[in-house]
Amino acid sequence: MSLAERRKAQGFTQESFAEAMAVDRRTVGRWETGKGEPQPPQRPKMAALLRMDLEDLDALLNAAGTPEEAEGPSPSTRHSPGDADEMIRREFLRLMTVSGTLAATPASTPDALSEAGSHGSTDGFDLMNGHLWQVYQLARTKQSVYPVVRTQLSTLNETLSEGGIPFSSFCVAAADLYQLAGELAFDANRYGEAAASYALAATASREAKSFDLWACALIRIAYVDLSEKRYVRAAETLGVARRIALQGDRNLSTRYWAASVQAEAYAWLRDIDACKEAIDEAQKVAGLRGQASNGGWLRFDGSRLAEERGARYLQLDQLDLAEEALLTALAQKPLVSGASFRRRGAALTDLAVIGARRKDPEQVVQYGHEALLLARASNSGYIAHRLQNLTAELITFGRDRRITELKAEIGTLTV
């Protein structure tokens, strides 16, 4: 049975089902053709409406949009167990196991197994990885970078299988690249794939004893937990990341980034004291001299602290303080490209949320519409996801025409 058939069996038209789910009818249409899927917070409500448990609903959604039913997403954007990305990850793990064993084998071993992977260089990979991070940050559409990253991962695997580079150097290059692959998946709200890529990055950087790289992978894993509302686990992971970062380069900002993200976890947990401690710790990044970030897997330089402070105040319902910090963030410098699209979109959405909590429709429409335009211009699933969360704040506005129109437009976004 398809999603559309299940909906009809429960007596819903697309319009009535969309209304019950608080989304646009076109969003339901995309769910039913496999061109989009409901976010995790939406699924319990959908399961209840369709009278299914969550496991059965997941199976039904995974079946939507097969070639027999609809034209699904292109191979570069559709992902399922056993696809090219999963095979690349499995090959990486296999090579890690084999090469790690060879690297640990004493030099006196017969046939000189330890010589495997003892020659070559990762300079080419390092340069390419750095270039890909720059392209990713500047790209309006993040997914346009994805095919090149996949090719780079395949090439890296092939090089290791041929024994072309030292194992430790390979681990650093792989951890770097898998963090970027995870970022692409995270931006498209493919959290399971993002977590798998970040986990591989953590494994590889741990093997290389690259502490800052390792801590950054853990921070990104915590972002997935935050997105899926596992706040206690996120806070614990970030605590580990902070401890690992203390063993790294003291001139880098890794430990302060971990503290900044941990403040978010504590804010969700309503632990005001712990949140304040983490924010204050993150603020110490201003005391670093020189280049605090490398512009690739570590990009935290403190420039985002105003908007992050505003977001934390919003979580704690300190609306005036939140608004002041967010407006300061937007005024600091133009945020017009790359990762800054996500940052500006998040700040604008938070200002719209403040308007919703103040019952101020003018503020909601002003900032919500600006964020909507950014989401469309950048095709960012992250901004679209934030805007969909905003709609939950708009229930109290009833049938206000401007709010209804904004919600309908948000419903057309692909997440």
What's the pLDDT band for 335 if we cut at 50, 70, 90?
A: very low
Give the per-residue pLDDT at 5. Answer: 82
Checking if the pLDDT of 175 tops 80, the result is yes
Task: Give the residue extent of every domain in the chain.
Answer: 3-63, 310-415
Q: Quick check: 401 and 394 in contact, CB under 8 A?
A: no
- Residue scoring higher pLDDT (235 or 292): 235
- Token pair, residue 248, equals 């790294």
- Is residue 366 classed exposed, middle or buried when 0-12, 13-18 and 19+ CB atoms within 10 A define those classes? middle
310-415: in CATH 2.40.50: no
42, 153 Cβ separation under 8 angstroms? no
Cβ neighbours for 239, distance < 8 A, ≥ 6 positions apart: 262
Contacts for 38 with CB less than 8 Å, ≥ 6 apart: 21, 31, 46, 61
Worst-scoring range by mean pLDDT, 190-199, 288-297, 329-338? 329-338
CATH class of 3-63: mainly alpha
> CA–CA separation, 224 vs 284, rounded Å?
25
Give residue-wise pLDDT tens across range 367-405: 999 999 989 888 878 889 899 989 989 988 888 899 999
The torsion of the CA quartet 252, 258, 263, 268, rounded to 10 degrees, works out to 160
268 pLDDT band, cuts 50/70/90, is very high
> What pLDDT is recorded for position 71?
37
pLDDT band at 46 (very low <50, low <70, confident <90, very high): confident
Residue 92, Cα to own-chain centre: how many angstroms? 22
**Phi and psi, residue 184, nearest 5°:** -65, -45
Task: Give the percent of the chain with pLDDT over 90.
Answer: 35
Q: Which amino acid is at 187?
A: D
pLDDT band at 211 (very low <50, low <70, confident <90, very high): very high
Identify each DSSP E strand in 134-221 by its residue range: none
Q: Is residue 81 left, alpha or beta, with left meaning phi > 0 and alpha meaning psi from -120 to 50? A: beta
The H-or-E segment that residue 93 falls in is helix 84-104
Return the DSSP state at 337. S
Radius of gyration of the chain (CA): 23
Question: Measured between alpha carbons, how far is 318 from 303 in angstroms, rounded to an integer?
Answer: 22
- Per mean pLDDT, which of 182-196, 203-217, 287-301 is the most reliable? 203-217
**CA 287 – CA 211 distance, rounded (Å):** 21
The CA-atom distances, in angstroms, between 411 and each of 276, 360, 361, 374, 389 are 35, 21, 18, 15, 11
- Quick check: do 3-63 and 310-415 share a fold? no
Alpha helices in 269-318 (DSSP H): 272-283, 305-315
Copy the structure tokens of residue 128.
Answer: 């390419």
Q: What is the DSSP letter of 141?
A: S
Query: How many Cα atoms sit within 13 Å of 205 on the Cβ side?
Result: 25
Q: What CA–CA distance (Å, rounded) separates 187 from 73? A: 16
Amino acid at 241: A
pTM over 0.95, yes/no: no
Does the pLDDT value for residue 114 go beyond 50?
A: no
